[in-house]
Structures are given as C-alpha cells and as structure tokens.
Amino acid sequence: TKSTRPQRLLKAVQKHSTRGDPQSVISAIDHFCRHREWAMNVGDEKGSILDSVVSELNPEKVLELGTYCGYSTVRIARLLPPGARLITLEFNADYAAIARQVIAWAGLEDKVQLVEGASGDWIPRMKEHFGIETFDFVFLDHWKDRYLPDTKLMEDCGLLRKGTVLLADNVICPGVPDYLEYVRNSLSYKSCYFKSHLEYTKAEDGLEKSVFLG
Ligand SMILES: O=C(NC/C=C/[C@H]1O[C@@H](n2ccc(=O)cc2)[C@H](O)[C@@H]1O)c1cc([N+](=O)[O-])cc(O)c1O
Ligand SMILES: [Mg+2]
C-alpha cells in the first residue's frame, strides 16, 4: 500500500540527517519539504523567529499544541536548558507515531513528552496529570478553530501566569481571525505580529506573539 507523506518525511530524516543532531534533522525536513513534498511544518523562515522567541525566553515549561511530524518540537526542544520540559499534544495517532521517531532520532526524547489526544481534553488535566502549575511558553500550531477556545481554556485552568508567552503560527494563512481579534483587543495580553511567509512559499504568513499580563 502507498506510504503517507509523514512516513516519507521520516524516511528522508533517517536518510539525510545524523542521529542525535537536531539541526541536521531540521535541515533534512526543510530540504524534503522545499524540494520533494510540501508539508505543514512551521518551516525555516518562521522557525528562525520561533527560535529567537524561545532563546530569549529560556522557558522551563513549554506546551506545544499540534505536533504533526515533530519539526517544531525538535526546533523548540533543541534550545531548552537542561531540566526544561516540552509537552506536545497530537490528536492523530499516525502523526504521533512518526513524530515520536523524529524526536527520538534527534535525540530529544528526554526533554519531550508527546501526549496523544485532543487539546480540549488534556489542557484541563495538565496540573493533576503532569504536575504543571503554569506554562512559560505555548506554541499554537494545531486546528485553527481551536486556538481561541484553547487559549480561554488555558486561562480558565490557571495555566498562564504574568509573562507567559503565546506564539501562534498561521495568523495570516490559513488565518485565525477570531484568535487575533481576541489577543489584540484583550487587556490581558500585549500582542505583536512577526511578518513572514507561509512555509516554503512566497505567500504572506506570520506569527503572533502575545504576552499574558495576568
Ligand atoms: O491546518 C494547519 N495546521 C493544522 C495542524 C493540525 C495538527 O494539530 C493536531 N492536533 C493536535 C491536538 C488537537 O487537539 C487537534 C489537532 C492535528 O492532528 C495535526 O497534527 C496548517 C495549514 C497550513 N496551510 O498552509 O494550509 C499551514 C500551516 O502551517 C498549518 O499549521
Ligand atoms: Mg502551522
């Protein structure tokens, strides 16, 4: 039977990158997506912006919504200090199986906990199940109609503290208008837009960085 795109992406990682070398994994995925098959990774251009936000923040507790094949998981985890933890939520079991192998190939499994299921089910369980008080950094890159409800859910569950940074992918393409309107108009957030391009294309897209003010 025909392979899936995530399976072909994993094969490209195993063929063209070095085990235990996260940067080579990132480069292999970007090359595959630019020259073989486009895939919905945050990509190299927006990925550099993601890197700078993570490096500046040095977060201890990170939540990623939407693992897919683990590209941004590897980008973030490779920058985390020792002892820092990244929890990444993935709904699709097939994507999760590929992501686990990409994360392991990069040698980052000790920093990453991939949880299978829906964000709406797991966000309310972060405290009792993972012993998380609050997150320092949240990367939103899952279903675009879930960005806003999940942000409100994180607020309601007390998972955001003064200074928690939310970074949202795709605020232009495919777009998340309700989320943007909320974080840009709410008195609880200081928000700013990082203009960039949709991964591996010339179309405009960007990241919205929103600091929770408590
Ligand atoms: O649609 C997009 N992303 C949706 C991602 C969804 C991912 O989040 C997971 N999830 C995890 C937990 C959940 O609760 C729900 C879903 C899904 O199982 C999937 O792995 C998208 C589309 C384009 N595009 O150009 O079309 C570009 C992008 O950068 C994108 O991110
Ligand atoms: Mg995206």
For ligand 1, pick from 170, 179, 196 the residue to mutate: most ligand atoms within 8 Å of CB.
170
Closest CA to 209 of 54, 43, 39, 88: 54
| Residue from 68, 116, 202 to probe ligand 1 pocket by mutation (most atoms less than 8 Å from CB) | 68
Q: Nearest-5° angle of CA 189, CA 190, CA 194?
A: 120
ipTM > 0.95? yes
Which ligand neighbours the alpha carbon of 168 most closely?
A: 2
Residue pLDDT tens, the chain, 214 long: 899 999 999 999 999 999 999 999 999 999 999 999 999 999 999 999 999 999 999 999 999 999 999 999 999 999 999 999 999 999 999 999 999 999 999 999 999 999 999 999 999 999 999 999 999 999 999 999 999 999 999 999 999 999 999 999 999 999 999 999 999 999 999 999 999 999 999 999 999 999 999 9
DSSP state of 203: S
